[in-house]
Structure formats: C-alpha cells, structure tokens
Structure 1
Amino acid sequence: MSSVVRDQDVDIDLGQLARAVWARRLRILTITLVAAGVAFAGAKIISPQYRSETRILIEPRAPAFANTQQANEAGAGPLMDELNIASQVQLLQSADLLKKVINDLKLYNLPEFDDAANGSAMSSILVKLHLKKNPMENPPEERVIDAFVERLQVYQVPGSRVIGINFTSKDPKLAAAIPNAMANVYLSTQSGAKLASNSEATRWLEPEIENLRQKVSEAEKKVAEYRTNHGLLQTNGTTTFPAQQLNDISAELTRVRGDKANAEARAQAVRNALSSGEASDTLPDIMSSQAIQRLKATESGLQSQISDLQTSLLNSHPRLKSLRAQLSDIRGQIRQETQKILASIENEAKVADLRASELERQKDAVQANSARAGEDEVGLNALEREANAQRQLLETYLVRYREAASRADSNSSPADARIVSRAIEPVDPYFPKVVPIVVVATVATLILSAIVTMLAELFSGRALRPVDGSRDTVEAETVAEDKNVPQAASVVAAVRRPVQPSMLAGVTENDGKDVIEETAAAEETPEDDNEFSIASVADYLTGSRASLAIAISPTGDNGSAVTVALTRMLANAGCRVILIDMTGSGYPTELMAESQVAAGITDLLCGEAAFGDTIHSDRLSDAHLIPQGQSDVRRAMRGVDRLSLLLDALAAAYDLVVVECGAADVAGVSRLTRSRDVEIILSLPEIEETIFVTLMTEFQAAGYERVVLMSGGEGAEQVLGQAA
C-alpha cells in the first residue's frame, strides 16, 4: 500500500476510486438487493391508504324562479377574489362543519379515528418517559377531530375559484364519502345562512317600511299644503299657474304685435297707391273687397262700350258723353271705397296697438306675481325633494322585502357554490407505492454504498497521490514492490560518467542494475567531462528536432535555477529560446524578470492579460520569459486546455520553448504535452537515486522515449554568477 508524507500536497485519484468500487461490486450489489427486499417487504406490510377528492366551484347563484332583474343583480355582485376563496377554504375546515360531518357519518365509532384508545407500545413508552403528551388526556371528540384533520386537505386550485377537498383513509368507501359529505354540509350551511339572512331581512324591513310610509304621506301632505297656501297650483303637472299664465300672455302679446305691424304695413301700402295715383286693384285688401270687385266690373263694361262707340260716333256725341260721365262716377266710387278700406285697416292697427298695450300691462303684473311664486317654489322644491327621497327609499325597501319574503316563503336560496366533481371510491391505494419505494430504496442504497466505499478508500490513503509528481515521498519498499527496480540503497547518489544524455532515453524497469553499475562506474570519471552538465544538455537540445522541452525539477528551486541557466546558455549560443514559468514558487520569474508583478501565464489563462503582454525579456540575457503571473493558480488551471494553443504559437516563433514545471508528476506532463514531439529534462543538480530511478521508470511507462538527465549545480552557479 502506498503511503503519502503528511506534509505533502496530494490529489484524489479518481481512477483508483473507480477501481475500488468495481472491486467491491459484489458486496455493493448484495447490499443493494437486500435493501430492495427490505423496502419491498416494508411496503407490503404497511397498511394501504386511499385518497379521494371533491371539488367545489365558488360562484354567485340566484333562485331558479328569480326574474331577470334579480338575476342580473345577483350576477352583478362582487366576484370572489383571493381573500374570499381563502375564507371559504377556512370555512370548510371549521370545527362546526367537521363536527357535523363526524356526527352524520358516526366516525367516532371507527378505530381509525381514535388510535389513542388502542395506542402502541412505543407510544406508551414515550408517554411514560414524558417525551410525548398522553393522548388520553384529551376528550374523545377532540381526538377524533385531530385524527380527522390529519387526513384532511382543503386547498384552492391555483388560478381558479375551485376548492379541492382531499381525504385519506384506510377504507376506500370512507375516503370518497367524507369529501362528498363535507361538500353537502358546506352547501347546506351556505344555503341556510342565506335563508336566515332573508328572514332577518324581512323582519327588519317590515317596521322600516311602515315607518317610511308614514314619512312619505306626511311629506306629500306638506307639499300639497304649501302649494295651496302659496298659490303654486300646477296646470299640467310640472308648471305652476303663474308661470303658465305668463307664458300665455307673452305668446298673445307677440301675436298682437305681429297683427299691428301687419295692419300698419297694409295701410301704408294703400296710402302709397292713393297718393301716387297707381292702380290699387293689385293690393290684396282692395281686391278682396266685393264692392270694389263690382265697381271694377262696371268700370270695365263702360270702357268697353266707350271703345266700341268711338269707332262709329264722334267724341261730342251725347251717348259717349253719357258713358264717360258714368265711368267717371264709377271711378269716384272706387276711390271712396278704397278710402273706406284704408280707414278699416288703420282701425285694425289702432286696435292691435291698444291690445298690445293692455297685454304689456298684464305681463308686468304677472311677472311680479311669478317672481313672488319663484321665491315660494324654493321651499316647495325642498319639500318635494324630501318627499321623493322618502318615496324612492320606500320603493327600494318594498322591492327588497318582496324578494326576501318570496325566498323565505319558498325555502329556496341556493348557496354561492356548486359541486363540479364528486369523489369516487378509489381503486388503487394512494400510499404506499410499492414500485417507486423499491426503486428509490435501491438507487439510494447503491449510491450510498458506492460513496461509503470511496470514502473508505480516501481515508485509507490508497486514492491519494502527490500533487508535485515527485516520488521522494514514496517508501522504498513500495517502489521496489510496484516498479520492480533495485533497492534504493543500491543506487549511487551522483552520475559523473561521460556518456551522451540519450543513453538514459528509453531506460526500462529491468535496466535498474545496469544503471546502478554505470552510475557506479561514473565515480571514476573526471567532473570536467560530465556529459549530464548544462552545456552537454544545451548541445543536445540544439541538435534535437523537438521544439518543446519540459523541465522537471523534483528537488524544487535548485533544479529550477539549473533550468534558468540552461535557457540563458542557449540564448547566448544564438538560439531563440523562451522559458515559461509554471512552477509553484515562481523562482524562475524571480531570477529572470525585471518586475516580480509582471503579467504572466496565470493572467493569460484567466483572461486578465493579452498574449503579447505576457512575453518579457530576460534581464540578464537574450532569452525571453513568460512569468508565473499574479492571478490565482487554481483558477488558471481550469483553462489549462488553452495552453496547448499557446505552446503551438510559441513553437512557431521560437527555436525552443522550455517549460519549467517544477516538481510535476507524469500525469501533469502528459496533460501538457499531449501527443507532441517533446524532450523531457530531469533537472537534478545533485542526483538522488530514489527520485532518479522512479522518474525514469514512470516516464518510460508513460511512453516518453527521450528523457534527459541534467545535473551539475556548479555549472548553474557559474552561469548564474556570470550573468549576475
């Protein structure tokens, strides 16, 4: 079993958790099946409960014999709002209504509604321990009501004026009978309340109507006496006598004035005709005179005779003279008759003038009387308003009294509600639902068993792995058991043999002894010929075809310093190189950056800095640097998938991209490199045998063919010292 040092950061191995659950699958399935069986047996043992529902619609209703006006008035009443519906819900749950239903159905005789009388042993123990109140202390009626209320549910259907009544019982017939009985009692109670209201209304209206009749009679009597005393007699029901008289005089005066003006105009026309000598026979008054008409006829006959005789006789003939004399006499008579007509017209004008003067005098007198009558009408109007108000109130009371009396006498007053859905006897029980209970119990047991197994794996430490990727915290016996490598004591601490770095590429588990022998032989090699030095690794990377190098520093900042020295050596050799600081400590940034608060890789991954703003120059060489940054590392790691695009872009712009990962593990490097052609550099200034062998084996198992060891802390100090 692996063990992790207490002070080391660890991560959860999800694969190990899954393997642990799979390994214990038979135990988990057995527990799940047992739980399903227990749930099934428990569901079958529980007594079934049945539920049924009745629904009531709240709406204003009027008797069937009500006339149209009454029906309209009932329908025009206030609609039931939310508060009214809520009040009806509370009324359905009132104690009086419940008691009536209990008594009607004789529920107090059923053991279901008095469980306290047949209490269980557990209930008795709780009562003796004073953890529960003794239900027998309550009256039987209260116990029945409490049991009834526990099984009852009254609610308003959302968005409607419908109230639902649910009841749960062990007896399906009772589950349907109780909601229907509650609905019937509710409707009869509402109807009875309306009947009682009608009876109360008739009792109250009778004396009020009698009192109003007396008041109306007295008010009308006062109006009549007032009219008589002040002479305000009505002519056509709405107008008083003085006002009518004034209207008649005014109309007559207008007519007389018109006649006067007409007579004067006619007389003037006759005068004008006489004075000008014009023919007056065109005037209507002249032509309408019979005398003028006869004289005109005679004049016309004489003129005809004269005209006939002038053709045969001389002007001095006696016959002509006689006719001319007669014609002159006739014309004189016409003139005299016209004067008489003129005098008659002038007399008409004078009479009309006298009549108008008389009417004006009468009008003035009547106007004075009307003014006094108007003042008297103010008091009359007040009395009439009072009488009308009393009369209207009396008529209203009479209408209400007739309606209330007819409803009370007919004993018909429907409640403002009706049943829209009656409860029926249920066939399937409401509880327990065997299939859902078994399914839920099975799924819950399966999930809980898996969770318990994973928690046990976590607490034992088997599902934990070091975050930094180093294996120096793994016990030596675990390495020997799991990796099949030689014992840690047999590995030499340092490698000094002059061989190429590629010699370590592709080392396998079975090569442990060879490595030990080769590293042991390296002690005889001079230090100046160290092929694992910074210069040797730099020469190797210069000739490598890979554009990405991942530097692993299991020992911490001293290894990161060697990586910085390698980067600067490559830059001094003319290689375009950039280092990305992905260590936890940020030590490469401290060595290379001009400012420790420069934007870096974490800021880029968090979206808080642009790509170009994260690239900085090394303060001591031509190399470039992407610092660690100032953003939260954990939040930046959520966007680590975008790092692949960043590496592709940098590989296209630089000869070599060096990523210093610090003490990273193989899994972290695999997520970073994916399928790229990459060089893995193990930066170990002082070789530690356990770490070296473990890392080489793990990278080989992960499929990395080129793993390069870089040691020689003296070279790093020299490069860093020269740069300083």
Structure 2
Amino acid sequence: MTELTPYRAGHGPVSGMQDGPAWARPAQGGLGAAIGRRKGLLIGVSLVVFAVGAGLILAQPPRYRAEAVLVLEPREGNQFAAGTVDRTALLTEAGLLRSRDLASQAVQELGLAGNPDTLAADGNPLLYWTGLTMDAARRALADLMSEPMLASPTADPLERAIDAYLDRLSVTPADGARLLTVGFTAADPALAARAANLTAQLYLEGRTTRRDSAAERAGRWLSQKLDSLRADVLESARRLEEYRRRSGVVEVGGNSLQRDQLSQVSTQLVAAVAQRTEAEARAQQVRRLLDRPGAIDSASIVLNTELVRELRLQEAAIQRRMAELRTQYREEHPRLIEAQAELEELRGTIAQEVRKLVASLENEAEVARVRERALQLEVERLTALVEGQNEAEAAIRALEEELRTRTQLYEAVLTRANESELAQRAQQGFDARLVSAAAVPRQAAQTAGWGSWLLAAAVALLSGLLAAGLAGRRRTRFADAADLEAETGLPVLAALPALRKGQMSGRAPHELALEQADSPYAESLRRLRTTLALAGEARNITTGRSVLVTSSLPGEGRSTIALGLAVLAAKGGARVLLIDADLRAPGLHEVLGVPNERGLSDYLAGAAELGKVTEFHLAHGLYVIPAGTRLEDPSALLARPVARDLMAAAASGFDLVVIDSSAVLPAPDALLLARHADQIVHVVASGQKRGPVLAALASLNGAGAVLSGMVLNRADPKRIGEAGSVPFASGHVRLDRAEPPRRLPAGAG
C-alpha cells in the first residue's frame, strides 16, 4: 500500500496518488471522455464484432415459409350483410392465433420447449447472437452507470422458445374476405408446415372447447340458479303459512273476520247511543213535568198511553155526573159524596199509572245505557284485537310480496333456461374452419438483405462503444480493501469478514468475538484496536483516546464494530466508555440490555446528570451512555458546548472512549462529533457504491475532521489478505482540523 503523508484540503495532493484522493479531486469527464481516450479499442472491437456478424450473415441458412388458410363463417341465424366484412372480428381472431397460450401449446407439442435455440438460431443467427450481445451490454451498462440492473430477457427455455416461435409466426387477415392466413417461417420446411397447421388446429380446437365450455357453464349456472330459486319460493310459502297460523289472522273473502265484526259492532253502538239518548230525554221530560203540578196530565207521553187515556175518559164522565148531581143535591148528599170518592179513587189510579210510566221510562233509559256500555266494551275489545293484528297483517303482506317476487323471478329464470339452447344458436358470432392446410414448401422464402448488414454494423459499433466505456471507467462498488485504499487514498485499518448465520448460532457479533477469540472476526477486531492504539501513540495520545465510529449510510455495521471494539478493549483490562451518539436510530441499549429512559440526549438537554445516565455493564466490564430520550432536533443538542465538554471529561476519566455516531450523509450529527474525537474510523460495507463513500469523506473533510482510516466490513474472507500492511505512523491522514478538544478541570461535568 502506498505510504501517505498528511493531507489538508486545498494544499496539494496526497503523496503516492497522481491526482489526490477521489473525494478531493474534481470530476474528470464522463463516459464520453472515457471512450474518447480509447478510440483504438473502440475501432478494434467494432471490426471484430462486424466480422463475426458478417460471417453469421453469410452462413445464414435459407428459410422456408408455409401457410394455412382459415375461413370465418357466420353462425346459423346470423348472416353478414351482403358485401361487408367485420374487420374487427378478423383482427380479434388474428390476435387469438398469435396468443402466447396457443404458442406455448404449439411449442410443447412440436418438442421445441427443451431446445429453445432450435428456433432462436436457425432462422437468423445474427439476430440470435445480437440478442445475447444486447443482454450482456445491458448488464454492463447498468454496472457502468451505477444504476440497478435493467430488466433482461427471461432465461426460461420455454419462454425463449415461445418468443422465437411468435417471431416466425404471422397471421394476416384478407382484404374483403373472411379469411385468415396463418404463416410460419423456419429453416426446416417440414417444421414450417407442421407449425402452421398445428397453430390452425389448436386455434380451432380452442374455439370449440371455449364454446362448449361456455354452454356447459351457462347450463350449470341456470340449473343451480333454478334449484336455489325453487327452494326460495318454497321457503317463502312455508314462512307465510306458518306466520298466519301463529298470528291467528283469519280472512274471509280477502278481509279480516275481526275487522268485519268491528264494523258491525260499531254500527250497533251508534244505534244504541241514539236509543240511549232518546230514552234519557223522555225520562228527563217526565221528571220535569212531575215537579210541576198538573203539567204531567198534558204530557204527550202520558196522553198517548192507552190506559191513562181510558182513565181520563172515566174521570171526565165522573166529573160530568158530579156536575149533574150538584144541580140536584147538596155537597153532603150521599150520592154526591159517593161520586166524589169514586173520582178520588180514579185519580189515584191515574197517578199510579203515571208513576209506573215514569219508572218504565227510567228503566228503558238504564237498559239503553247498559247496552251502550256493552257495545262500547265490545268495540274496544275488537279495536285492540284489530290493532294487534295490523302488524301481523303487515308482516303477512310482506311475506306475500316476497313470495310473489320470488315466484316471478323463478318463472323468469325457468323461461330463460328453456330458451337458452335456442338463444345460443341465435347468438351473434361465427364459426371457423380450415379451408387450406399448409404444404411443405419446396423453395426458400427469404435471404439475407441490407437490414441484416445494417444490424451487424450497429451491433459492432455499440459493442465497441461499450468496450471503450467499460475500459475507461473504474468499478462503481468497493469489493476489497485494496480497491478501497486505491480509490480513497486512506489506509484500511482492518477488514472484518462477513459472518454467516451458521457461525452466529443466535449470538451477536461481539459475543462471537469474545467466545471465539481465534476466529478471523475476532482477529480483525483486535487488529483494528491495535492499529488505533499505535496510531494514537504516533500522535502522543497514550491515554484517554476517543474514537468516533461512523459510516456513509445506515446499515453498514457501524454500531456492531463500535460495540466489538469497546468490548475487546474492556476485556483487555482497559477502562472503556461506550457512548451511543446515534440519537436518531439508537440500538446499542437493546443489544446490551441496558435501560434507555435517560441517556446522552437527556444530559445534553440538561435534564439529567452525567452519573444518572451512565450505566455499567457487568458482563462486559464497560461503561455505557445510551442515547436516551428521542428529541426533535438531535443536531442542535450535539452542537452545544456541553457536548464538547462531555467528550473532554470522558477522555480524562477513561482509557478509551468509543463513540457510535450516526451515518454521515443522512444527518450532520457525525460532522459535529468529529470535531471532538481524537480518532475517526469510517466503516464501509463491502459492495458499497463509491458515490456515497466519497461524498461522506468530502463532508468530513469540509468539517475539518481527522480520519485515522477506513474499516472494510462484511468482506469476502478469501480476499481479506489483500489489504496488506497498514503503516501506522504515516497512515494517519489529517484533514483541516478544528480547535483541539480541551480537557475539563477535575470534577467538571
């Protein structure tokens, strides 16, 4: 690895790098510039590819074309108008003939599915090899432009065979006739004829199958629908009769019996009220006349009584006789006294009869009242009964309507079922039949033309351009430590191998490093710890070192490496403090099992003391400051002077302070913390794109950070040894640095 001298932004390149580190160099052209520098390669590759294409064109075998003809005939009962053709129907059927489903059946029956190259290369080898070249070019272009892989053709042999089959199949509707010409082109004339005839045959079989299947489905659906509707009708009738029995509603001639009774009793009640009123009026009149002396004699009801009328006549006769006697005798005469006594007796009889009449009227009125009350009670009873039956009658009407609706629906579907066969015969459409089968062609139909030569020239030019572009551009992803060092100009302090799930056995990476001290992963972590220690000694930092661990993007293993570094240092007897400074997505507290109710954010915000937010992990023998409560603006907290003072105080109280920062690009938190750390380790995951890494290094450079070097994480174990040795003394690259952190006086913080 090239030995590096300190680098300051704007003060010249790093020694050993021709143009300085990639993140500190201006962009040097694009794909066009890279191609322009390699014109010779472009011309050479283009000539070679064109020569290959010319050979393929000249070696192209003759191709034969066979044709089968189908006719579309109107179905019975539906004739096309004279002199017209349904062009849309012809085009639709042509599309069905070229469908992938039908082509798949033909390919499998012809035995082409297991050998897709039979069709792919026999007709035009240039097109076949052009497809392969374009596929490779697509992958190369995606890698060159640092973009996701473009969609490539499917590698499924059946799909490739179907694509080749459809390329050689043509379906042409005739002008002015209901004819479809099915053509197939192949290097084998027998294959061309078999393919054309098989395509037409499969199409005709498919039409028959679809028509029969549709009729069967329609009949089955109608049968099931009829059964369901019949069951619904029977169920509705059963529910109606059951409800009628349960409700007790009796109907005569469509009317309710109780309603008719109520009407009759109401009529009787009206008559009874009139009778009672009349009887009470007569009785009241008689009572008034009784209170007036002599008035009762003139009452019409009394005068109209036959017995009273006879008694009155007798009274009048006695009075006439007494008048005659008075003309003859004195009042004391016995005959006159006898007549007077007879008159008094007769009047007593009249009075008694009048009283009987009055009592009769009173009784008549009372009887009328009793009858009225009885009828009123009957009306009330019948009214209550009818009102109680109104809901039942409404329910009955609803059930009757439901029964009527279901019956009508059943009858309609039954009629449709009876007419379905006739309707199918009368439906619009047409039938198809084969009128001319394809014969084996005897003469070739096509030879290579100018199109093939132009295509060969285009492919040759494109191949040359891609070759020149690929040669002029570096790889876009970091694959190993040597690649990372060469691109960034920074030393790779350690390369940690990728861990497989089988190695973990449910353990965390730092636990694996502790339990398997001789594993490559543990050795790489110890190498990182030793490298940082030696780099610190080169800067005269023997105690109280603070190491900031960051990365370009989240998910590169930054927190795992910070935890492993701290755990191994604590196991070696050092007094270690691990700070989770990723205030946006903290995770160390979950791995270590420490509480996170209070932590770094609470201390920086002044909500907790330093001793309250520091936890001691007994199992690993290290101190931990978790991230703490999530706040809205973590960057504002980390920019406070108390953050700088905390780092200085921590360095004075511990042998090693490991700071797990957030990634550089998503947020400025790492840039703020970088000014207070003695050493900075930048973690890069193997396979990471160069763009984010170089952008992160440029951001750290702009913040005046001091980088100790890079750590390649999840590296291929077979390529870890390619990193080479790390020059500890001169491998420490210094960027423009802010004011060195000042240590706090004893007791501060």
TM-score scaled by length of structure 2: 0.30
Max Rg structure? 1
TM-score scaled by length of structure 1: 0.31
